[in-house]
Chains A and B, each alone.
Chain A
Protein backbone atom coordinates (compact mmCIF):
# COMPACT_ATOMS: atom_id res chain seq x y z
CA UNK A 1 0.00 0.00 0.00
CA UNK A 2 2.76 2.43 0.99
CA UNK A 3 4.75 1.68 -2.13
CA UNK A 4 1.74 2.16 -4.39
CA UNK A 5 1.04 5.54 -2.80
CA UNK A 6 4.62 6.66 -3.56
CA UNK A 7 4.33 5.49 -7.15
CA UNK A 8 1.06 7.33 -7.70
CA UNK A 9 2.32 10.45 -5.94
CA UNK A 10 5.38 10.40 -8.20
CA UNK A 11 3.23 10.02 -11.30
CA UNK A 12 1.04 12.97 -10.31
CA UNK A 13 4.15 15.13 -9.71
CA UNK A 14 5.60 14.03 -13.04
CA UNK A 15 2.33 14.90 -14.77
CA UNK A 16 2.40 18.38 -13.20
CA UNK A 17 5.87 19.18 -14.57
CA UNK A 18 5.63 19.47 -18.39
CA UNK A 19 4.07 22.98 -18.48
CA UNK A 20 7.19 24.26 -16.70
CA UNK A 21 9.53 23.63 -19.61
CA UNK A 22 7.56 22.74 -22.77
CA UNK A 23 6.42 25.32 -25.31
CA UNK A 24 2.70 25.75 -26.08
CA UNK A 25 2.95 23.61 -29.19
CA UNK A 26 4.08 20.52 -27.30
CA UNK A 27 1.70 21.22 -24.46
CA UNK A 28 -1.07 21.22 -27.03
CA UNK A 29 0.13 17.85 -28.27
CA UNK A 30 -0.02 16.58 -24.68
CA UNK A 31 -3.54 18.00 -24.41
CA UNK A 32 -4.61 16.04 -27.48
CA UNK A 33 -3.02 12.95 -26.02
CA UNK A 34 -4.97 13.47 -22.80
CA UNK A 35 -8.24 13.88 -24.68
CA UNK A 36 -7.65 10.72 -26.69
CA UNK A 37 -6.55 8.89 -23.56
CA UNK A 38 -9.90 9.54 -21.88
CA UNK A 39 -11.78 8.70 -25.09
CA UNK A 40 -9.83 5.43 -25.31
CA UNK A 41 -10.50 4.68 -21.64
CA UNK A 42 -14.23 5.15 -22.24
CA UNK A 43 -14.17 3.03 -25.41
CA UNK A 44 -12.13 0.45 -23.51
CA UNK A 45 -15.15 -0.27 -21.29
CA UNK A 46 -17.14 -1.25 -24.38
CA UNK A 47 -14.47 -2.87 -26.56
CA UNK A 48 -11.88 -4.04 -24.04
CA UNK A 49 -14.05 -5.09 -21.11
CA UNK A 50 -17.41 -6.04 -22.58
CA UNK A 51 -15.90 -7.23 -25.88
CA UNK A 52 -18.42 -5.32 -28.02
CA UNK A 53 -16.97 -3.91 -31.24
CA UNK A 54 -17.84 -0.25 -31.46
CA UNK A 55 -16.44 1.70 -34.39
CA UNK A 56 -18.77 4.65 -33.94
CA UNK A 57 -17.55 6.09 -30.67
CA UNK A 58 -17.04 9.53 -32.26
CA UNK A 59 -20.83 9.83 -32.39
CA UNK A 60 -21.08 9.95 -28.58
CA UNK A 61 -18.12 12.32 -28.40
CA UNK A 62 -19.94 14.56 -30.92
CA UNK A 63 -23.21 14.50 -28.97
CA UNK A 64 -21.35 15.68 -25.86
CA UNK A 65 -19.45 18.41 -27.73
CA UNK A 66 -22.57 19.73 -29.47
CA UNK A 67 -24.58 19.65 -26.26
CA UNK A 68 -21.96 21.86 -24.63
CA UNK A 69 -21.68 24.15 -27.66
CA UNK A 70 -25.41 24.64 -28.18
CA UNK A 71 -26.34 25.17 -24.54
CA UNK A 72 -23.36 27.46 -23.99
CA UNK A 73 -23.80 29.68 -27.05
CA UNK A 74 -27.61 29.90 -26.86
CA UNK A 75 -28.21 30.10 -23.14
CA UNK A 76 -24.83 31.18 -21.84
CA UNK A 77 -24.58 28.31 -19.37
CA UNK A 78 -20.93 27.97 -18.23
CA UNK A 79 -19.25 25.11 -20.10
CA UNK A 80 -17.97 23.18 -17.10
CA UNK A 81 -21.40 23.18 -15.50
CA UNK A 82 -22.59 21.39 -18.59
CA UNK A 83 -20.33 18.39 -17.94
CA UNK A 84 -23.07 16.26 -16.34
CA UNK A 85 -25.57 17.40 -18.98
CA UNK A 86 -23.19 16.31 -21.75
CA UNK A 87 -22.67 12.98 -20.01
CA UNK A 88 -26.41 12.58 -19.77
CA UNK A 89 -27.22 13.45 -23.40
CA UNK A 90 -24.45 11.23 -24.78
CA UNK A 91 -25.42 8.39 -22.45
CA UNK A 92 -29.09 8.76 -23.30
CA UNK A 93 -28.29 8.85 -27.01
CA UNK A 94 -26.28 5.63 -26.58
CA UNK A 95 -29.19 4.03 -24.73
CA UNK A 96 -31.60 4.87 -27.55
CA UNK A 97 -29.38 3.75 -30.44
CA UNK A 98 -27.79 0.73 -28.75
CA UNK A 99 -31.05 -0.72 -27.38
CA UNK A 100 -32.22 -2.25 -30.69
CA UNK A 101 -28.77 -3.42 -31.86
CA UNK A 102 -27.29 -4.72 -28.64
CA UNK A 103 -28.04 -8.37 -29.39
CA UNK A 104 -25.94 -8.28 -32.58
CA UNK A 105 -22.69 -10.16 -32.45
CA UNK A 106 -19.11 -9.15 -33.29
CA UNK A 107 -18.76 -7.92 -36.85
CA UNK A 108 -22.48 -7.18 -37.30
CA UNK A 109 -22.50 -4.84 -34.32
CA UNK A 110 -19.31 -3.27 -35.63
CA UNK A 111 -20.90 -2.38 -38.98
CA UNK A 112 -24.03 -0.96 -37.36
CA UNK A 113 -21.96 1.26 -35.06
CA UNK A 114 -20.07 2.60 -38.09
CA UNK A 115 -23.49 3.47 -39.51
CA UNK A 116 -24.52 5.26 -36.31
CA UNK A 117 -21.31 7.31 -36.42
CA UNK A 118 -21.95 8.35 -40.00
CA UNK A 119 -25.61 9.17 -39.37
CA UNK A 120 -24.63 11.52 -36.56
CA UNK A 121 -21.94 13.23 -38.63
CA UNK A 122 -24.24 13.71 -41.61
CA UNK A 123 -27.10 14.89 -39.40
CA UNK A 124 -24.74 17.53 -37.98
CA UNK A 125 -23.74 18.66 -41.50
CA UNK A 126 -27.40 18.89 -42.47
CA UNK A 127 -28.03 21.26 -39.58
CA UNK A 128 -30.55 18.96 -37.93
CA UNK A 129 -33.33 20.90 -36.07
CA UNK A 130 -31.52 24.05 -37.22
CA UNK A 131 -29.30 24.04 -34.13
CA UNK A 132 -26.00 22.45 -35.21
CA UNK A 133 -24.83 25.13 -37.62
CA UNK A 134 -24.39 22.77 -40.58
CA UNK A 135 -20.91 22.16 -41.94
CA UNK A 136 -19.61 25.44 -40.44
CA UNK A 137 -20.36 24.11 -36.99
CA UNK A 138 -20.72 26.29 -33.92
CA UNK A 139 -18.28 28.99 -32.86
CA UNK A 140 -17.93 31.37 -29.98
CA UNK A 141 -18.06 28.79 -27.20
CA UNK A 142 -17.07 30.48 -23.95
CA UNK A 143 -13.86 29.64 -22.12
CA UNK A 144 -14.36 27.47 -19.07
CA UNK A 145 -14.35 29.32 -15.82
CA UNK A 146 -13.27 27.35 -12.79
CA UNK A 147 -14.30 29.31 -9.68
CA UNK A 148 -13.18 32.58 -11.21
CA UNK A 149 -10.10 31.17 -12.94
CA UNK A 150 -10.64 31.42 -16.71
CA UNK A 151 -8.94 28.56 -18.54
CA UNK A 152 -7.49 29.96 -21.73
CA UNK A 153 -3.95 28.91 -22.67
CA UNK A 154 -2.79 25.39 -23.57
CA UNK A 155 -0.87 25.37 -20.29
CA UNK A 156 -4.06 25.97 -18.35
CA UNK A 157 -6.01 23.42 -20.35
CA UNK A 158 -3.24 20.94 -19.67
CA UNK A 159 -4.22 20.82 -16.01
CA UNK A 160 -7.94 20.56 -16.74
CA UNK A 161 -7.49 17.75 -19.25
CA UNK A 162 -4.98 15.74 -17.26
CA UNK A 163 -7.07 16.12 -14.11
CA UNK A 164 -9.88 14.51 -16.09
CA UNK A 165 -7.48 11.75 -17.16
CA UNK A 166 -6.51 11.20 -13.52
CA UNK A 167 -10.08 11.05 -12.24
CA UNK A 168 -11.06 8.70 -15.06
CA UNK A 169 -8.13 6.37 -14.40
CA UNK A 170 -8.95 6.14 -10.69
CA UNK A 171 -12.69 5.59 -11.19
CA UNK A 172 -12.26 3.05 -13.98
CA UNK A 173 -9.65 1.20 -11.96
CA UNK A 174 -12.15 0.91 -9.10
CA UNK A 175 -14.82 -0.15 -11.58
CA UNK A 176 -12.57 -2.94 -12.84
CA UNK A 177 -12.39 -4.36 -9.32
CA UNK A 178 -16.13 -4.54 -8.80
CA UNK A 179 -19.21 -6.57 -9.50
CA UNK A 180 -19.98 -4.32 -12.47
CA UNK A 181 -16.49 -4.56 -13.97
CA UNK A 182 -16.39 -8.33 -13.63
CA UNK A 183 -19.82 -8.68 -15.23
CA UNK A 184 -18.51 -6.93 -18.36
CA UNK A 185 -15.63 -9.40 -18.55
CA UNK A 186 -17.98 -12.38 -18.24
CA UNK A 187 -19.83 -11.10 -21.31
CA UNK A 188 -16.62 -10.83 -23.26
CA UNK A 189 -15.51 -14.34 -22.32
CA UNK A 190 -18.74 -16.21 -23.03
CA UNK A 191 -22.10 -14.53 -22.96
CA UNK A 192 -24.15 -17.75 -22.90
CA UNK A 193 -22.27 -18.93 -19.83
CA UNK A 194 -22.65 -15.47 -18.29
CA UNK A 195 -26.42 -15.52 -18.79
CA UNK A 196 -26.45 -19.10 -17.47
CA UNK A 197 -24.62 -17.92 -14.34
CA UNK A 198 -27.38 -15.43 -13.64
CA UNK A 199 -25.98 -12.30 -15.24
CA UNK A 200 -28.40 -10.07 -17.11
CA UNK A 201 -26.26 -9.87 -20.24
CA UNK A 202 -28.50 -7.50 -22.22
CA UNK A 203 -28.48 -5.06 -19.29
CA UNK A 204 -24.70 -5.07 -18.91
CA UNK A 205 -24.05 -4.76 -22.64
CA UNK A 206 -26.27 -1.70 -22.70
CA UNK A 207 -24.74 -0.36 -19.50
CA UNK A 208 -21.24 -0.58 -20.98
CA UNK A 209 -22.40 1.45 -23.98
CA UNK A 210 -24.15 4.04 -21.83
CA UNK A 211 -21.25 4.54 -19.40
CA UNK A 212 -18.66 4.61 -22.20
CA UNK A 213 -20.76 7.08 -24.18
CA UNK A 214 -21.41 9.31 -21.16
CA UNK A 215 -17.68 9.56 -20.57
CA UNK A 216 -17.03 10.37 -24.22
CA UNK A 217 -19.72 13.04 -23.90
CA UNK A 218 -17.78 14.68 -21.07
CA UNK A 219 -14.63 14.65 -23.19
CA UNK A 220 -16.69 16.29 -25.93
CA UNK A 221 -17.52 19.06 -23.48
CA UNK A 222 -13.85 19.68 -22.70
CA UNK A 223 -12.97 19.54 -26.38
CA UNK A 224 -15.61 22.13 -27.26
CA UNK A 225 -14.34 24.41 -24.50
CA UNK A 226 -10.74 24.01 -25.63
CA UNK A 227 -11.42 24.68 -29.32
CA UNK A 228 -14.20 27.30 -28.81
CA UNK A 229 -15.33 26.19 -32.26
CA UNK A 230 -16.58 22.75 -33.29
CA UNK A 231 -17.69 21.36 -36.61
CA UNK A 232 -18.69 17.93 -37.99
CA UNK A 233 -15.16 17.52 -39.39
CA UNK A 234 -13.90 16.85 -35.87
CA UNK A 235 -16.13 13.79 -35.52
CA UNK A 236 -15.43 11.72 -38.60
CA UNK A 237 -15.13 7.96 -38.92
CA UNK A 238 -11.36 8.48 -38.70
CA UNK A 239 -11.76 9.66 -35.08
CA UNK A 240 -13.57 6.43 -34.20
CA UNK A 241 -10.83 4.45 -35.92
CA UNK A 242 -8.13 6.28 -33.96
CA UNK A 243 -9.85 5.53 -30.64
CA UNK A 244 -10.31 1.91 -31.63
CA UNK A 245 -6.65 1.68 -32.68
CA UNK A 246 -5.54 3.04 -29.30
CA UNK A 247 -7.58 0.38 -27.48
CA UNK A 248 -6.26 -2.49 -29.59
CA UNK A 249 -2.69 -1.23 -29.79
CA UNK A 250 -2.44 -0.31 -26.12
CA UNK A 251 -3.91 -3.61 -24.95
CA UNK A 252 -7.65 -4.27 -24.65
CA UNK A 253 -8.90 -3.94 -21.11
CA UNK A 254 -5.76 -2.37 -19.69
CA UNK A 255 -5.71 1.16 -18.26
CA UNK A 256 -1.93 1.73 -18.62
CA UNK A 257 -2.34 0.34 -22.15
CA UNK A 258 -4.81 3.09 -23.02
CA UNK A 259 -2.42 5.80 -21.80
CA UNK A 260 0.54 4.35 -23.68
CA UNK A 261 -1.64 3.80 -26.77
CA UNK A 262 -2.75 7.44 -26.74
CA UNK A 263 0.87 8.59 -26.47
CA UNK A 264 1.88 6.43 -29.43
CA UNK A 265 -1.11 6.92 -31.73
CA UNK A 266 -1.46 10.66 -31.15
CA UNK A 267 2.08 11.56 -30.14
CA UNK A 268 4.20 9.58 -32.59
CA UNK A 269 2.86 11.24 -35.75
CA UNK A 270 3.90 14.57 -34.19
CA UNK A 271 7.38 13.32 -33.41
CA UNK A 272 7.70 11.91 -36.93
CA UNK A 273 6.89 15.27 -38.49
CA UNK A 274 10.51 15.31 -39.68
CA UNK A 275 9.63 12.56 -42.15
CA UNK A 276 7.16 14.95 -43.77
CA UNK A 277 4.90 12.95 -46.09
CA UNK A 278 6.32 9.61 -45.07
CA UNK A 279 5.26 9.99 -41.42
CA UNK A 280 1.94 8.22 -41.74
CA UNK A 281 3.72 5.46 -43.63
CA UNK A 282 6.22 4.99 -40.82
CA UNK A 283 3.39 5.08 -38.31
CA UNK A 284 1.32 2.57 -40.26
CA UNK A 285 4.27 0.22 -40.66
CA UNK A 286 4.96 0.41 -36.92
CA UNK A 287 1.34 -0.59 -36.22
CA UNK A 288 1.46 -3.52 -38.64
CA UNK A 289 4.68 -4.84 -37.09
CA UNK A 290 3.16 -4.46 -33.63
CA UNK A 291 0.04 -6.39 -34.47
CA UNK A 292 2.09 -9.24 -35.94
CA UNK A 293 4.46 -9.61 -33.01
CA UNK A 294 2.29 -8.56 -30.11
CA UNK A 295 -1.32 -9.32 -30.87
CA UNK A 296 -2.54 -8.77 -27.34
CA UNK A 297 -1.40 -5.12 -27.39
CA UNK A 298 1.59 -3.38 -25.85
CA UNK A 299 0.46 -3.56 -22.23
CA UNK A 300 -2.14 -6.33 -22.08
CA UNK A 301 -4.54 -6.42 -19.15
CA UNK A 302 -3.19 -8.40 -16.23
CA UNK A 303 -5.38 -10.77 -14.22
CA UNK A 304 -6.98 -9.07 -11.24
CA UNK A 305 -5.30 -9.69 -7.90
CA UNK A 306 -7.57 -10.19 -4.92
CA UNK A 307 -6.50 -9.98 -1.35
CA UNK A 308 -7.68 -13.32 -0.04
CA UNK A 309 -8.75 -13.57 3.56
CA UNK A 310 -6.80 -15.95 5.81
CA UNK A 311 -8.33 -19.38 6.28
CA UNK A 312 -11.17 -19.36 8.78
CA UNK A 313 -11.96 -15.68 8.26
CA UNK A 314 -15.10 -14.49 6.50
CA UNK A 315 -18.65 -15.44 7.09
CA UNK A 316 -19.63 -17.16 3.85
CA UNK A 317 -21.78 -20.24 4.07
CA UNK A 318 -20.49 -23.30 2.31
Chain B
Protein backbone atom coordinates (compact mmCIF):
# COMPACT_ATOMS: atom_id res chain seq x y z
CA UNK B 1 0.00 0.00 0.00
CA UNK B 2 1.49 3.30 -1.07
CA UNK B 3 1.82 5.96 1.58
CA UNK B 4 -0.47 8.85 0.76
CA UNK B 5 -0.61 12.25 2.42
CA UNK B 6 -3.36 12.61 5.00
CA UNK B 7 -5.08 15.76 3.86
CA UNK B 8 -8.03 17.42 5.63
CA UNK B 9 -10.21 16.46 2.64
CA UNK B 10 -9.30 12.76 2.86
CA UNK B 11 -9.78 12.88 6.63
CA UNK B 12 -13.31 14.28 6.39
CA UNK B 13 -14.25 11.87 3.58
CA UNK B 14 -13.01 8.86 5.57
CA UNK B 15 -14.83 10.04 8.69
CA UNK B 16 -18.04 10.51 6.72
CA UNK B 17 -17.66 7.01 5.31
CA UNK B 18 -17.27 5.49 8.76
CA UNK B 19 -20.27 7.39 10.11
CA UNK B 20 -22.36 6.16 7.16
CA UNK B 21 -21.28 2.59 7.93
CA UNK B 22 -22.39 2.97 11.54
CA UNK B 23 -25.73 4.51 10.51
CA UNK B 24 -26.33 1.77 7.93
CA UNK B 25 -25.56 -1.04 10.37
CA UNK B 26 -27.74 0.65 13.00
CA UNK B 27 -30.66 1.07 10.60
CA UNK B 28 -30.39 -2.60 9.63
CA UNK B 29 -30.30 -3.62 13.27
CA UNK B 30 -33.42 -1.58 14.04
CA UNK B 31 -35.25 -3.11 11.10
CA UNK B 32 -34.34 -6.71 11.95
CA UNK B 33 -34.92 -8.73 15.10
CA UNK B 34 -36.61 -11.69 16.73
CA UNK B 35 -40.10 -10.42 15.92
CA UNK B 36 -41.16 -9.56 12.40
CA UNK B 37 -42.58 -6.11 13.04
CA UNK B 38 -43.59 -5.52 9.43
CA UNK B 39 -46.28 -8.21 9.54
CA UNK B 40 -47.98 -6.71 12.56
CA UNK B 41 -51.07 -4.63 12.20
CA UNK B 42 -50.95 -2.90 15.58
CA UNK B 43 -48.97 0.32 15.22
CA UNK B 44 -48.59 0.72 19.00
CA UNK B 45 -46.90 -2.63 19.33
CA UNK B 46 -44.63 -1.98 16.36
CA UNK B 47 -43.73 1.40 17.82
CA UNK B 48 -42.87 -0.14 21.19
CA UNK B 49 -40.68 -2.80 19.56
CA UNK B 50 -38.94 -0.21 17.39
CA UNK B 51 -38.41 1.97 20.44
CA UNK B 52 -36.75 -0.88 22.33
CA UNK B 53 -34.66 -1.82 19.33
CA UNK B 54 -33.53 1.77 18.92
CA UNK B 55 -32.48 1.77 22.56
CA UNK B 56 -30.56 -1.49 22.09
CA UNK B 57 -28.88 -0.28 18.92
CA UNK B 58 -27.83 3.04 20.42
CA UNK B 59 -26.58 1.33 23.58
CA UNK B 60 -24.53 -1.17 21.59
CA UNK B 61 -23.21 1.70 19.46
CA UNK B 62 -21.98 3.91 22.29
CA UNK B 63 -20.56 0.96 24.25
CA UNK B 64 -18.80 -0.42 21.17
CA UNK B 65 -17.32 2.97 20.33
CA UNK B 66 -16.17 3.49 23.93
CA UNK B 67 -14.50 0.08 24.19
CA UNK B 68 -12.82 0.26 20.78
CA UNK B 69 -11.39 3.70 21.59
CA UNK B 70 -10.20 2.53 25.00
CA UNK B 71 -8.55 -0.55 23.46
CA UNK B 72 -6.82 1.49 20.78
CA UNK B 73 -5.54 3.98 23.37
CA UNK B 74 -4.25 1.26 25.72
CA UNK B 75 -2.48 -0.51 22.87
CA UNK B 76 -0.75 2.70 21.80
CA UNK B 77 0.27 3.99 25.23
CA UNK B 78 1.21 0.64 26.75
CA UNK B 79 2.96 -0.28 23.49
CA UNK B 80 1.35 -3.68 23.64
CA UNK B 81 -0.85 -4.97 20.80
CA UNK B 82 -2.74 -7.27 23.16
CA UNK B 83 -3.72 -4.59 25.67
CA UNK B 84 -7.48 -4.18 26.01
CA UNK B 85 -9.77 -3.01 28.86
CA UNK B 86 -11.13 -6.51 29.50
CA UNK B 87 -7.78 -8.33 29.37
CA UNK B 88 -6.02 -5.73 31.52
CA UNK B 89 -8.69 -6.06 34.22
CA UNK B 90 -9.91 -2.50 33.71
CA UNK B 91 -13.42 -3.71 32.84
CA UNK B 92 -13.33 -6.02 35.88
CA UNK B 93 -12.37 -3.11 38.13
CA UNK B 94 -15.19 -1.06 36.68
CA UNK B 95 -17.52 -4.03 37.21
CA UNK B 96 -16.58 -4.32 40.86
CA UNK B 97 -17.11 -0.57 41.30
CA UNK B 98 -20.52 -0.72 39.65
CA UNK B 99 -21.62 -3.73 41.74
CA UNK B 100 -20.47 -2.09 44.98
CA UNK B 101 -22.32 1.12 44.14
CA UNK B 102 -25.46 -0.83 43.18
CA UNK B 103 -25.54 -2.42 46.66
CA UNK B 104 -25.52 0.79 48.62
CA UNK B 105 -26.10 3.74 46.32
CA UNK B 106 -28.49 5.02 43.68
CA UNK B 107 -28.14 4.13 40.02
CA UNK B 108 -26.64 7.54 39.20
CA UNK B 109 -23.48 6.60 41.13
CA UNK B 110 -22.81 3.52 38.95
CA UNK B 111 -20.82 5.21 36.15
CA UNK B 112 -18.81 7.21 38.71
CA UNK B 113 -17.86 4.06 40.60
CA UNK B 114 -17.23 2.26 37.33
CA UNK B 115 -14.81 5.02 36.38
CA UNK B 116 -13.08 4.89 39.78
CA UNK B 117 -12.74 1.09 39.59
CA UNK B 118 -11.29 1.37 36.08
CA UNK B 119 -8.89 4.17 37.02
CA UNK B 120 -7.57 2.37 40.11
CA UNK B 121 -7.00 -0.74 38.00
CA UNK B 122 -5.06 1.15 35.31
CA UNK B 123 -2.88 2.73 38.00
CA UNK B 124 -2.22 -0.62 39.68
CA UNK B 125 -1.53 -2.49 36.42
CA UNK B 126 0.82 0.23 35.23
CA UNK B 127 2.64 0.47 38.56
CA UNK B 128 3.12 -3.30 38.81
CA UNK B 129 4.08 -3.96 35.18
CA UNK B 130 6.58 -1.13 34.70
CA UNK B 131 10.15 -1.15 35.79
CA UNK B 132 12.13 2.10 35.50
CA UNK B 133 9.50 3.44 33.14
CA UNK B 134 9.76 0.41 30.84
CA UNK B 135 6.80 -1.91 30.42
CA UNK B 136 7.50 -5.61 30.16
CA UNK B 137 4.95 -6.91 27.61
CA UNK B 138 4.32 -10.28 29.23
CA UNK B 139 4.36 -8.86 32.77
CA UNK B 140 1.63 -6.47 31.69
CA UNK B 141 -0.63 -9.26 30.44
CA UNK B 142 0.07 -11.45 33.47
CA UNK B 143 -0.74 -8.53 35.76
CA UNK B 144 -4.07 -8.24 33.98
CA UNK B 145 -4.72 -11.96 34.49
CA UNK B 146 -4.02 -11.74 38.22
CA UNK B 147 -6.05 -8.57 38.68
CA UNK B 148 -8.97 -10.19 36.84
CA UNK B 149 -8.72 -13.23 39.14
CA UNK B 150 -8.73 -10.95 42.17
CA UNK B 151 -11.78 -9.01 40.98
CA UNK B 152 -13.51 -12.25 40.06
CA UNK B 153 -13.02 -13.49 43.62
CA UNK B 154 -14.24 -10.19 45.09
CA UNK B 155 -17.36 -10.29 42.93
CA UNK B 156 -17.97 -13.94 43.87
CA UNK B 157 -17.71 -12.95 47.53
CA UNK B 158 -20.33 -10.26 47.01
CA UNK B 159 -22.67 -12.59 45.13
CA UNK B 160 -22.32 -15.15 47.92
CA UNK B 161 -23.50 -12.59 50.44
CA UNK B 162 -26.49 -11.09 48.61
CA UNK B 163 -29.96 -12.53 48.08
CA UNK B 164 -30.40 -15.28 45.44
CA UNK B 165 -32.46 -12.95 43.28
CA UNK B 166 -29.76 -10.26 43.34
CA UNK B 167 -27.16 -12.97 42.76
CA UNK B 168 -28.82 -13.93 39.49
CA UNK B 169 -28.95 -10.32 38.35
CA UNK B 170 -25.26 -9.74 39.07
CA UNK B 171 -24.18 -12.97 37.39
CA UNK B 172 -26.18 -12.13 34.26
CA UNK B 173 -24.92 -8.57 34.19
CA UNK B 174 -21.29 -9.74 34.51
CA UNK B 175 -21.68 -11.62 31.23
CA UNK B 176 -21.99 -8.30 29.43
CA UNK B 177 -25.52 -7.72 28.22
CA UNK B 178 -27.49 -4.98 26.58
CA UNK B 179 -30.64 -5.27 28.59
CA UNK B 180 -33.96 -3.78 27.59
CA UNK B 181 -35.66 -4.70 30.85
CA UNK B 182 -35.08 -1.29 32.25
CA UNK B 183 -34.05 1.21 29.55
CA UNK B 184 -31.79 3.92 30.91
CA UNK B 185 -31.81 6.53 28.17
CA UNK B 186 -29.99 9.12 30.25
CA UNK B 187 -27.08 6.75 30.88
CA UNK B 188 -26.90 6.01 27.14
CA UNK B 189 -26.64 9.74 26.56
CA UNK B 190 -23.85 10.05 29.16
CA UNK B 191 -21.82 7.18 27.67
CA UNK B 192 -22.43 8.49 24.17
CA UNK B 193 -21.28 11.97 25.14
CA UNK B 194 -18.17 10.58 26.82
CA UNK B 195 -17.34 8.35 23.84
CA UNK B 196 -17.71 11.29 21.46
CA UNK B 197 -15.55 13.49 23.68
CA UNK B 198 -12.92 10.73 23.89
CA UNK B 199 -12.95 10.33 20.09
CA UNK B 200 -12.39 14.05 19.57
CA UNK B 201 -9.67 14.19 22.23
CA UNK B 202 -7.90 11.10 20.85
CA UNK B 203 -8.07 12.54 17.34
CA UNK B 204 -5.95 15.42 18.63
CA UNK B 205 -3.63 13.05 20.51
CA UNK B 206 -3.26 10.63 17.57
CA UNK B 207 0.00 12.19 16.39
CA UNK B 208 1.43 11.56 19.86
CA UNK B 209 0.04 7.97 19.89
CA UNK B 210 2.01 7.26 16.71
CA UNK B 211 5.24 8.55 18.19
CA UNK B 212 4.83 6.81 21.57
CA UNK B 213 4.08 3.55 19.75
CA UNK B 214 7.46 3.94 18.02
CA UNK B 215 9.32 4.77 21.24
CA UNK B 216 8.92 6.99 24.28
CA UNK B 217 12.29 8.68 23.93
CA UNK B 218 11.63 9.27 20.25
CA UNK B 219 8.25 10.79 21.11
CA UNK B 220 9.74 12.98 23.84
CA UNK B 221 12.54 14.20 21.58
CA UNK B 222 9.95 15.07 18.91
CA UNK B 223 8.14 17.36 21.33
CA UNK B 224 5.46 15.04 22.75
CA UNK B 225 4.84 15.57 26.51
CA UNK B 226 4.83 11.80 27.11
CA UNK B 227 3.92 11.79 30.82
CA UNK B 228 1.03 14.19 30.32
CA UNK B 229 -0.18 12.29 27.26
CA UNK B 230 -0.14 9.04 29.22
CA UNK B 231 -2.07 10.54 32.15
CA UNK B 232 -4.75 12.17 29.98
CA UNK B 233 -5.17 9.03 27.87
CA UNK B 234 -5.40 6.62 30.81
CA UNK B 235 -7.95 8.82 32.61
CA UNK B 236 -10.06 9.21 29.45
CA UNK B 237 -9.90 5.50 28.58
CA UNK B 238 -10.86 4.63 32.17
CA UNK B 239 -13.73 7.07 32.06
CA UNK B 240 -15.29 5.64 28.91
CA UNK B 241 -14.64 2.04 30.02
CA UNK B 242 -16.20 2.66 33.44
CA UNK B 243 -19.25 4.36 31.98
CA UNK B 244 -19.79 1.66 29.36
CA UNK B 245 -19.47 -1.09 32.01
CA UNK B 246 -22.09 0.71 34.12
CA UNK B 247 -24.38 0.61 31.10
CA UNK B 248 -23.80 -2.88 29.68
CA UNK B 249 -21.52 -4.81 32.01
CA UNK B 250 -18.00 -5.90 31.10
CA UNK B 251 -18.08 -6.74 27.40
CA UNK B 252 -14.72 -8.19 26.40
CA UNK B 253 -12.50 -8.22 23.33
CA UNK B 254 -14.24 -5.45 21.35
CA UNK B 255 -11.27 -3.26 22.22
CA UNK B 256 -8.94 -5.96 20.90
CA UNK B 257 -10.70 -7.14 17.75
CA UNK B 258 -11.76 -3.75 16.43
CA UNK B 259 -8.37 -1.92 16.38
CA UNK B 260 -6.63 -4.97 14.91
CA UNK B 261 -9.11 -5.44 12.09
CA UNK B 262 -8.75 -1.74 11.30
CA UNK B 263 -4.95 -1.92 11.33
CA UNK B 264 -5.11 -4.66 8.73
CA UNK B 265 -7.00 -2.29 6.44
CA UNK B 266 -5.73 1.18 7.36
CA UNK B 267 -2.20 0.50 8.61
CA UNK B 268 -0.75 1.65 11.92
CA UNK B 269 -1.43 5.41 11.68
CA UNK B 270 -3.55 6.50 14.67
CA UNK B 271 -4.70 9.65 12.90
CA UNK B 272 -6.66 7.30 10.61
CA UNK B 273 -7.42 4.72 13.30
CA UNK B 274 -9.08 6.95 15.92
CA UNK B 275 -12.17 8.07 13.95
CA UNK B 276 -12.41 4.61 12.38
CA UNK B 277 -12.24 2.84 15.76
CA UNK B 278 -15.11 4.93 17.16
CA UNK B 279 -17.44 4.20 14.25
CA UNK B 280 -16.31 0.65 13.50
CA UNK B 281 -16.42 -0.32 17.20
CA UNK B 282 -19.97 0.98 17.33
CA UNK B 283 -20.91 -0.90 14.14
CA UNK B 284 -19.26 -4.10 15.34
CA UNK B 285 -21.14 -4.26 18.64
CA UNK B 286 -24.44 -3.27 16.99
CA UNK B 287 -23.94 -6.15 14.56
CA UNK B 288 -22.97 -8.54 17.39
CA UNK B 289 -26.08 -7.53 19.31
CA UNK B 290 -28.19 -8.06 16.20
CA UNK B 291 -26.77 -11.59 15.94
CA UNK B 292 -27.85 -12.32 19.53
CA UNK B 293 -31.35 -11.03 18.80
CA UNK B 294 -31.62 -13.09 15.63
CA UNK B 295 -30.48 -16.15 17.61
CA UNK B 296 -33.28 -15.33 20.03
CA UNK B 297 -35.67 -15.51 17.11
CA UNK B 298 -34.41 -19.01 16.29
CA UNK B 299 -33.83 -20.52 19.72
CA UNK B 300 -36.04 -18.38 21.90
CA UNK B 301 -33.16 -17.29 24.16
CA UNK B 302 -30.86 -14.33 23.50
CA UNK B 303 -27.26 -15.08 24.49
CA UNK B 304 -25.57 -12.14 26.25
CA UNK B 305 -23.59 -10.15 23.70
CA UNK B 306 -20.52 -10.34 25.97
CA UNK B 307 -20.54 -14.12 25.61
CA UNK B 308 -20.56 -13.76 21.84
CA UNK B 309 -17.65 -11.27 21.80
CA UNK B 310 -15.62 -13.40 24.23
CA UNK B 311 -16.17 -16.56 22.18
CA UNK B 312 -14.99 -14.74 19.05
CA UNK B 313 -12.33 -12.67 20.79
CA UNK B 314 -10.64 -15.54 22.62
CA UNK B 315 -9.51 -17.35 19.46
CA UNK B 316 -8.61 -13.99 17.90
CA UNK B 317 -6.35 -13.24 20.90
CA UNK B 318 -4.56 -16.55 20.40
CA UNK B 319 -4.17 -15.82 16.70
CA UNK B 320 -2.55 -12.47 17.49
CA UNK B 321 -0.34 -14.07 20.13
CA UNK B 322 0.94 -16.61 17.60
CA UNK B 323 1.46 -14.28 14.64
CA UNK B 324 1.89 -10.54 15.12
CA UNK B 325 3.08 -10.85 18.69
CA UNK B 326 5.74 -13.45 17.96
CA UNK B 327 7.05 -11.41 15.07
CA UNK B 328 7.36 -8.41 17.33
CA UNK B 329 9.17 -10.17 20.14
CA UNK B 330 11.59 -11.80 17.70
CA UNK B 331 12.65 -8.46 16.35
CA UNK B 332 13.41 -7.18 19.83
Specify whether A and B are partners: no
- Seen from chain A, the residues whose Cβ lies within 8 Å of a Cβ on chain B are none
